[in-house]
Amino acid sequence: MRRSRPGPFRGRAARGNGNTFDDMARKRHSRSEPAQAIPRQPREARLLAEAVLLGVVGALAAQVFMWALHFCSHVSRTRLAGYTPPGLPGEGGALVERVGPHWLWLVPVATTLGGLISGWIVYTWAPEAEGHGTDTAVKAFHRTGGFIRSRVAPLKLIASAITIGSGGSAGRERPTALIGAGIGSTYATWEHRPDEGLRLLGLMGMAAGLSAIFRSPIGTAFFAIEVLYGGMDLEASPLVYTMLASIVAYAINGLFVSWEPLFSFPAAPVGV
């Protein structure tokens, strides 16, 4: 992987505890063990095996995220507010909304309560997980050598499920990017990988999680390597590994839901 250029985040601090991304990087390097050089061919074989592993783990994490999201939606909106929003048929939803006896008056209550709970979780235990998620993954790639604390992924999963499930203005893409990158970074940290390995495995995890959520393995493999920069630049060297992780995640996820796309279009009439 080529050496990444400095990102546009220098000097910005993660809220809470006074920790900047530079401080996190220095602490990690001060505690890390010296990495041993691995011959090229065994290294490539190992990375391919790890891409498969992260593809499986990313697909399972995506299933847990979707289950948590549906659970929070059922509790906060269906049970509390008496409202069922329209959903995709491919995910077990219906293209109609159901409004309870209180109409929509309790929806803001459920949304506010969900936002308060999720904000308390993030700011108490993982301030760097604030925001939509992709920005934290990009900062980690450029500022901490790809290092993301192991607590970030599960806390982001819980907080995002509460926010989205309660009707907050958020989507699944960016939290999933951070959850997948956090899983890859945690695995790389356990294996005492250098910064290059942390970055690469983080990108694999990001691509795997997004592929399982959106059932688009090729698109998410490219997304993981191009979201790191604001212009036309991208990290081309990890493409083989992000593509493999995405395909594996898509295949494993299909065992739970299906391999059909999320959106389908009716066939055009013959002769039109």
Tens digits of residue pLDDT in 168-178 = 877 888 899 99
Largest CA distance in the chain: 69
Average pLDDT over residues 22-36: 52
Q: Is the pLDDT of residue 71 over 80?
A: yes
Closest CA to 91 of 121, 62, 118, 127: 62
Residue matched to tokens 């299906």: 258
Q: Are 223 and 176 in contact (CB under 8 A)?
A: no
The token duo for 101 is 């006896």
Amino acid at 119: G
DSSP string, 94-116: -SS-EE-TTTTTTHHHHHHHHHH
Most confident stretch, 6-15, 67-76, 202-211? 202-211
Task: Tell me what pLDDT residue 129 has.
Answer: 84
Closest CA to 119 of 16, 12, 20, 210: 16
Q: What is the mean pLDDT of the chain?
A: 80
The token duo for 221 is 């493999």
| b (16+ CB within 10 A) / e for 33-72 | eeeeeeeeeeeeeebeebbbbbbbbbbbbbbebbebbbeb
**pLDDT tens-digit profile of 89-144?**
666 666 767 776 777 778 888 889 999 999 999 999 988 888 778 888 988 988 88
Query: pTM (2 decimals)?
Result: 0.77
The token duo for 220 is 């998410």
Rg for the chain, CA atoms, rounded: 20
Confidence of residue 257 (pLDDT cuts 50, 70, 90): confident
Q: How far is CA 106 from CA 12, 17, 80, 123, in A?
A: 38, 36, 7, 26
Tell me 74's DSSP state.
Answer: I
Report the range of poorest mean pLDDT among 92-96, 242-246, 256-260: 92-96
Q: Are 140 and 181 in contact (CB under 8 A)?
A: yes
**pLDDT tens-digit profile of 190-220?**
999 999 899 999 999 999 999 998 888 999 9
- Give the H/E segment covering residue 30: helix 21-31
Query: Distance (Å, rounded) from C-alpha 251 to C-alpha 26?
Result: 38
